[in-house]
Amino acid sequence: MAVTRPANSEALIQNDELMRYRSLGRTGLRVSALSFGCMRLSEDMGLNEQVISTAIDNGVNYFESTRGYCGGQCQQRVAPGLVGKTRGVIVSGKAGINPDTTAFSFRKEIELQLEILGLTHFKFFQVGWFGWNRASHLLKRGGVLDALRQAQDDGLVQYIGFTGHDKPENFTKLIETGVFDTLTVPYNMINRAYEPTIARAGELGVGVVAMCPVAGGVLACESDTLKEALQMDLPTTEMALRFVLSNPNVSTACSGMSTMEQLAQNVKTVNAFDPDEAAGFEELCEGLDRLRETFGDRICTACRYCQPCPKGVDIPRHLELYRNWQVFGLEDAARERLKGMPAEKSLKNCDACGLCEEKCPNDLEIRAAFEELKRLG
């Protein structure tokens, strides 16, 4: 692939009437408060083109993509909507790494993703599915960081980010290396595990992309409990976006969208939300903390010490649904997901042997919680 020197200083598009913009950490880029996660694009190529193109017209200037999503078709689904509009938008690429990843293979991956998307360069490229135990693959001589630095020198990549699901303290250590300009983490009202990492990112000037702001659709279900706790009489989805954006260290809420309706609703919500006038971040956190306190220390930390269950039950997943119902009032969401649980992992297989309770460091009454869940399903 011919190396091009991109106009890295080009201004990003903005539509100040419809969209709000925030700083992406120390990069100097102004990113739309709503960004577009491309992992849910459908097989309808016409619709994909329309949604992506309309998002840009509405002022969305960041699209998160990788080759792996959508059965390997994600970037092919994104590309048509970008035609004629690539200047002034951020499209991030992403690739995972393993012990065999070399600078050469990672460079080829960057070039391939650029080619599929029809871009001259990435404003930022993410090391995906990353964690502390993979840092050595990144840092080794002839490894991924060498490829990224060379790609920066050649004008193919401007900034470097990472994303993954490692422990918050490990993510904090990773951003403290100084290698990364951006961090993409799951963050929403019912999953605030990365809040300390996000705060540290703010101190270090690392841009934060909050993914899963509506918890993969769980927060699309109504909850009077959340309304009362946050003192907001709004649909849960709107409260969810507002909560994420009320965190001053979050640069953008990255929502996986696939329809015009989702896009229109999200653009409207972000436009209507003025963080300077709305309830403060601390106030919202206090409301959520009060809900959690009602549950005391009976929260499953997903440590998975109780696994494997001899009957195949996915214990942490069921306890997450139980918590969403009991703590956050998301009863319909819990019921729906119980129905969608694969038969081999379902709590219906539980014979109440009690082995999991013996292994649980938090002394959770798992069988009692499962009895309640069974009644819900």
Q: Give me the least distance between CB of 314 and ligand SF4, in Å please.
A: 9
Q: Is 41 in the site for ligand SF4 (CB under 6 A)?
A: no
How many positions of this chain bind ligand SF4 (CB under 6 A)? 27
Closer residue to ligand SF4, CB minimum distance, 30 or 359:
359
Write the CB contacts of 263 (distance below 8 Å, at least 6 apart in sequence): 51, 54, 55, 58, 60, 257
Q: State the residue for tokens 């000037």.
A: 205
Q: Give me the least distance between CB of 285 and ligand SF4, in Å please.
A: 23
Q: Is 350 in the site for ligand SF4 (CB under 6 A)?
A: yes
Q: How many CA atoms lie within 13 A of 260 on its CB side?
A: 8
Q: Give me the least distance between CB of 198 and ligand SF4, in Å please.
A: 23
Region from 199-207, 210-218, 288-296, 362-370 binding ligand SF4, contact rule CB under 6 A: 362-370
Task: Give the one residue of 47, 116, 362, 377 binding ligand SF4; rule: CB under 6 A.
Answer: 362
Instruction: Classify residue 150 by its DSSP letter.
Output: H
Q: Is 327 in the site for ligand SF4 (CB under 6 A)?
A: no
CA distance 1 to 300: 49
- Which residues within the stretch 275-314 sit at the binding site for ligand SF4 (CB under 6 A)? 300-306, 309-311, 313
Question: Could you tell me if 137 and 99 are in contact, meaning their C-beta atoms sit under 8 angstroms apart?
Answer: yes
Q: Is 70 in the site for ligand SF4 (CB under 6 A)?
A: no
The H or E element spanning position 256 is strand 252-256
Q: Give me the least distance between CB of 323 and ligand SF4, in Å please.
A: 10
Residue 157 CB coordination number (10 Å): 25
Q: Give me the least distance between CB of 321 and ligand SF4, in Å please.
A: 13
Region from 36-44, 138-146, 325-333, 353-361 binding ligand SF4, contact rule CB under 6 A: 353-361
Region from 122-130, 214-222, 282-290, 361-369 binding ligand SF4, contact rule CB under 6 A: 361-369
Question: Could you tell me if 327 and 297 are in contact, meaning their C-beta atoms sit under 8 angstroms apart?
Answer: no
Question: Could you tell me if 126 and 182 are in contact, meaning their C-beta atoms sit under 8 angstroms apart?
Answer: yes
3-class state of residue 32 by DSSP: strand
Q: Is 333 in the site for ligand SF4 (CB under 6 A)?
A: no
Q: How far is CA 41 from CA 48, 60, 70, in A?
A: 6, 16, 7
Q: Is 353 in the site for ligand SF4 (CB under 6 A)?
A: yes
Q: Is there a cis peptide before residue 342, judged by omega within 30 degrees of 0?
A: no
Residue ranges in contact with ligand SF4 by CB under 6 A:
300-306, 309-311, 313, 315-316, 319, 350-356, 359-360, 362, 364, 366-367
